[in-house]
Structure 1
Amino acid sequence: MKRKVAFLLLLLIIFFVAIPQAYADSTATTACSNTMYKPTGQNFWVASPTTTNATGPVVVYVHGYSSDHYTWEGGNYAVRDACTNGFRVAAVDLDPSGSIWNNATDLKSKLQAIASYYGVSKVNIIAHSKGGLDTQTAIVHNSAYSLVQSYIAFGSPYGGTDLADHACSWYAWALWQCNDATWSMRTSYMSYVRSITDGRAENSYVRGYVARGTKCDWYNPACAMISGSDDGVVPAWSVWANASASRISDRSDLRHSEVHQTQRYGSWIFSYLGRSTARVEADGEALDVQPLVEAESHFASSNYTLRGGALGNQVVEGITVEGGLDAVTFSLISNAGVKVSVVSPSGVTYESTAHAAATGDVLQGTTHAVRVEAPEAGQWQVLGTPTRRAGKGGGGFMLYAIYEGGLTVELDTDIYQVYKPGTPLPLSIRTSEQVSNARVIANLQTRENKRVAAAQGELNGRTLALPHQAGSYTVDITVTGIAADGTPFERTLVTSLAVGAPAELGENGGIADR
């Protein structure tokens, strides 16, 4: 009898030890909630299981830049929607300012822990913004493909974003927003990443999907700073730059802060998770086609003028506005309190309206914007008076004058490639309208804003001597001249270039430090 009792006790012990921790930590409920909790002793977040998803597949949410797991709760019903569609839910917190390499290592470790927690061999991933870069980097370069069945990346800058180029330019030095994360998202750095990621066999082991939005608010300077259509943070072309993923949604009504909100799609979005074959939606919502050649080349353009620096006691910046414009928007971004006004050449004063940055915006701070329709030509003044000091170094600003209905300048150099060190780079610049007396000043700078090459003179026929050292470099170009109506114009163009062969750079090598 004692032997039978001991044997039964042993079976019970084995049974409870074998139960995944998910069931030891939480009791199944009948309704799906939109909140998560951190299990005891774990470094990730989960939602309570329900009676309908207790044995369902697992989806892991991966946040983007300057964000955390809360981006999937609150106004985003991603936790509830996944549960309703039969998925068990987990979410991770990665370094909000970490590089794709460090975050990929951390992500793989947490995916292993989540798989063990739920007692599964593979999970699925839904990622937002930079979280999509961290996800693919983990899959391809950290062997996390063995843990992931499929992923959906919403608004992820697989080709980089112009905003990261701006954040790491000398114009933004006083905003202190060039960190490992923004450096990873520069257009040049992602050109390099694509060169060592696309075509890797690891991509074929995991089914990948991408979705994008293209809505940008008028007061957001990103609408002009980003070349082509965008969602306020990421260029539309950049989301499609992941050559291993299929497109499933293209929405002109969604901003970057909304594109990952699952309630804006419906249950069909979850039907892609865990799939090993492509799918096409009959209602046209899901495109599910491979990226086309638009992602193979990209040319930076500008219809703006740029200023930047420390706030000091007073900001006084002169901005040239040519004639015949439909409108001009002055947007000053600051990481400290400031009152901004704009004065026209004839002395009319315009007061700004303030708009706080959303979570996940590459350029964090408050934007003070003034939009003037049919502006008079001449020299405008932007005045900024600090009201309080905040942040490292006492506060800084970046100022954009965005011209509507005027000329656009474009750098006729494909930035979506890695250039050979030590070679001359022709600077061919196109203008959308006829101009005269046009001149250009171009600088090539390191992450520390050290100038390594420069050129100036007439608009075309200039070259930049690329450095011999591999790296990612900022290109800063100013174009001035006379517009077709005889009034002066000015444009600023900021982008970046990758220099060096992949073999020289290494996955986490020299380019990360330049």
Structure 2
Amino acid sequence: MKKLICLAAVMLFFSFASYAYAGSIGDEPGTPGKWFKGEEPVQKDESKPPLVFVHGINSSSSTWFDRNDMAKQAVLNGYESAFIDLYPDQDTKKNGKLLAEKLKEIYDVFGRKLIVIGHSKGGVDTQSALVYHNAHPYVEKVITLGSPHYGTPLADLAYSKGGSWLAEILGQKSDALYSLQTGLMAAFRSETDKLEKFPHKYITYSGSEWGTFGGVLYLGGMYLKSFGANDGAVTVSSTRLSYANNILTGKWDHNSIKNGTSMFPVFQHQLLANAASAEKENIESSNSTELNTDVYVKGGESEKEKTEAFYVEEGTNGLSIQWLNESHEARPEIIAPNGDVLTNLKTSEASFPYEGAFSHHVQINKPVPGKWTIRSNSGKKAPYLLLVSFDSPLNDEIKAEAAKSGDDASTHSSGLIKRLSKKVETFYFKDAQKDHPLKTTASSADQLKKEGAYSVTVHYTGLTASGTSAFNRTVIRTLYVDQDENIHGDIPY
């Protein structure tokens, strides 16, 4: 009889274990809700909390052990671990619900509280699980690595009028990317921070490197640099929470910040530390309202041949020009005002949020002022995106003048500027996949009434003080209006 009872108990245990986690590292990852126990340490120390690793957008659990030794580092340092697959393309609400269910399973298997380590959006999904789906009882602390707690302007770009054509044809538009727009994340923060009952649980790390010219994160880093230090996908300010232990900003990019050799020794001392007593880094508000006035953006769907023009003002120190399309071969040529033709653009695969595209780019020192032209022949109708970044003393002047008025179209003058005009385009998005967003007539905050997301693009044009040199800039933001008509996000006009 006793043997039968023991046998039944063993069978029940293995039945539960197979339900809780189906597989191990080396099995095919990517099934949402599936999780794996990591390799057992040689000397298991149950005084050490188990580590649960959560991946980010467009990723899977393999990000921690495929060309990454984070899983191995956990083993070598005596920690039990688990690796979970969430939906790579779903928003924080859906992933938060799924993660909360799995954190309870993992907690039941290990029998003690967990430390969750989330990379990128995985850190936001984790807070969603804790706050909205009652996973707090299973988690001792949360460590986020390059997580966009306030969203990323790159998501705003992908849903803007100019940037959406290419993102859509590449299949990059998703509920996940949609949720990372700065306006939507501002709404998330407004609600979540009020509900967060255990703010001391959060520890953040951020990176401030995005590689060199032509690198995999160059596109994102160059676009984000006017918003502040960044890791090629997320700004440093976005990775920080006002109530968290914001431990360190290091020389990592958005990919290397999850690398085991680089990061495990850095956060290891936090695994056993009292998070509530850890020393905080002094931070400023992450919700900056400053305008980024050093870029020009234009995009859409072109015919076989497409020509775009932009202006470079006198005194510009340098340009970074990027032309994104679907083709490696369809390289554009750039014609300077003096007739010089540039064809030696560097081509590389584009990164978030334009994976699958190619970026053709060049940097130019001391560019000739005047009208520049970029010309591309794709051989077919195709989407494109032009990003021009200006290193110019006019950037701060435009920012200062632009902030003086909220009119839809206005003219100003200053020491370096003779004329500055702007045009505001606002598009309403019903959901993440809407192909043709409804264009509104909204030109001020008072006209944003309907609940939902609004992509706002402000086009600045003008003349320098000499009256002979034109310039243009583009500012893009996403705003979110909640059911009470509260506007979340930075209003860029």
Which of 14, 17, 21 is 1:21 aligned to? 17
Between the aligned partners of 2:232 and 2:372, the Cα distance in structure 1 is: 26
SS in 1 for 2:285: helix
Query: Does residue 192 in structure 1 map to residue 187 in structure 2?
Result: yes
Going from structure 1 to structure 2, the CA distance change for 1:504 and 1:324 (only over 3 Å counts) comes to closer
Which of 436, 455, 458 is 1:474 aligned to? 455
User: Offset at 1:192?
Assistant: 0.7
Q: Is the 8 A contact 1:336 1:395 kept in 2?
A: no
Q: Is the 8 A contact 1:154 1:210 kept in 2?
A: yes
SS in 1 for 2:198: helix
Question: 1:334-373 maps to which residues of 2 (within 5 A)?
Answer: 334-337=325-328, 338-350=330-342, 351-358=344-351, 361-364=352-355, 365-373=357-365
User: Offset at 1:490?
Assistant: 0.6
Going from structure 1 to structure 2, the CA distance change for 1:67 and 1:411 (only over 3 Å counts) comes to farther
Question: 1:150-165 maps to which residues of 2 (within 5 A)?
Answer: 150-165=141-156
Which 5+ residue runs of structure 1 have no aligned equivalent? 1-5, 28-32, 281-287, 415-423, 456-462, 506-514
Give the aligned residue type for 2:187: Y
User: Offset at 1:98?
Assistant: 1.0
Tell me what 2:262 maps to: 264
Q: Deviations over 1:440-461 (max 9, x none)?
A: 1012211243222355xxxxxx
Tell me what 2:399 maps to: 410
SS in 2 for 1:372: strand
Between the aligned partners of 1:224 and 1:112, the Cα distance in structure 2 is: 41
Between the aligned partners of 2:148 and 2:413, the Cα distance in structure 1 is: 27
Going from structure 1 to structure 2, the CA distance change for 1:266 and 1:65 (only over 3 Å counts) comes to closer
Question: 1:349-498 maps to which residues of 2 (within 5 A)?
Answer: 349-350=341-342, 351-358=344-351, 361-364=352-355, 365-386=357-378, 395-408=382-395, 409-410=398-399, 434-447=416-429, 448-455=436-443, 463=444, 465-485=446-466, 486-498=468-480
Between the aligned partners of 1:254 and 1:470, the Cα distance in structure 2 is: 38
Between the aligned partners of 2:413 and 2:348, the Cα distance in structure 1 is: 32
User: Offset at 1:14?
Assistant: 2.5
Tell me what 2:110 maps to: 119
Tell me what 1:499 maps to: 481
Q: Deviations over 1:149-168 (max 9, x none)?
A: 21111111111111111110
Question: 1:121-200 maps to which residues of 2 (within 5 A)?
Answer: 121-175=112-166, 176=168, 177-200=172-195
Aligned Cα root-mean-square deviation (Å): 3.4
User: Offset at 1:246?
Assistant: 1.0
Give the aligned residue type for 1:374: K
Between the aligned partners of 1:442 and 1:94, the Cα distance in structure 2 is: 38
Give the aligned residue type for 1:66: N
Which of 90, 94, 98 is 1:98 aligned to? 90
User: Offset at 1:379?
Assistant: 1.4
Tell me what 1:509 maps to: none
Q: Percent identity?
A: 23
Between the aligned partners of 1:406 and 1:223, the Cα distance in structure 2 is: 20
Q: Is the 8 A contact 2:423 2:458 kept in 1?
A: yes
Which of 205, 210, 227 is 1:211 aligned to? 205
SS in 2 for 1:106: helix
User: Offset at 1:477?
Assistant: 0.4
Between the aligned partners of 1:437 and 1:412, the Cα distance in structure 2 is: 10
User: Offset at 1:395?
Assistant: 4.3
Between the aligned partners of 1:91 and 1:25, the Cα distance in structure 2 is: 10
Between the aligned partners of 2:32 and 2:209, the Cα distance in structure 1 is: 41
SS in 2 for 1:445: strand
Give the aligned residue type for 1:271: H
Going from structure 1 to structure 2, the CA distance change for 1:38 and 1:481 (only over 3 Å counts) comes to closer
Question: 1:253-332 maps to which residues of 2 (within 5 A)?
Answer: 253-273=251-271, 275-278=273-276, 288-289=279-280, 292-332=283-323
SS in 1 for 2:205: strand
Give the aligned residue type for 1:402: S
User: Offset at 1:26?
Assistant: 11
Between the aligned partners of 1:340 and 1:158, the Cα distance in structure 2 is: 37
Give the aligned residue type for 1:247: N
Going from structure 1 to structure 2, the CA distance change for 1:38 and 1:110 (only over 3 Å counts) comes to farther
Between the aligned partners of 1:25 and 1:108, the Cα distance in structure 2 is: 15
Which of 50, 58, 65 is 1:66 aligned to? 58
SS in 2 for 1:75: coil
Between the aligned partners of 1:433 and 1:135, the Cα distance in structure 2 is: 49
Q: Is the 8 A contact 1:316 1:381 kept in 2?
A: yes
Q: Is the 8 A contact 2:304 2:377 kept in 1?
A: yes
Q: Give the TM-score normalised by the residue count of structure 1.
A: 0.80
How many residues matched?
Answer: 461
User: Offset at 1:137?
Assistant: 1.0
Between the aligned partners of 1:42 and 1:161, the Cα distance in structure 2 is: 26
User: Offset at 1:45?
Assistant: 2.7
Going from structure 1 to structure 2, the CA distance change for 1:126 and 1:429 (only over 3 Å counts) comes to farther
Query: Does residue 228 in structure 1 map to residue 260 in structure 2?
Result: no
Give the aligned residue type for 1:246: N
Tell me what 2:248 maps to: 249
User: Offset at 1:36?
Assistant: 4.3
Tell me what 1:37 maps to: 27
Between the aligned partners of 1:210 and 1:431, the Cα distance in structure 2 is: 43
SS in 1 for 2:321: strand
SS in 2 for 1:244: coil
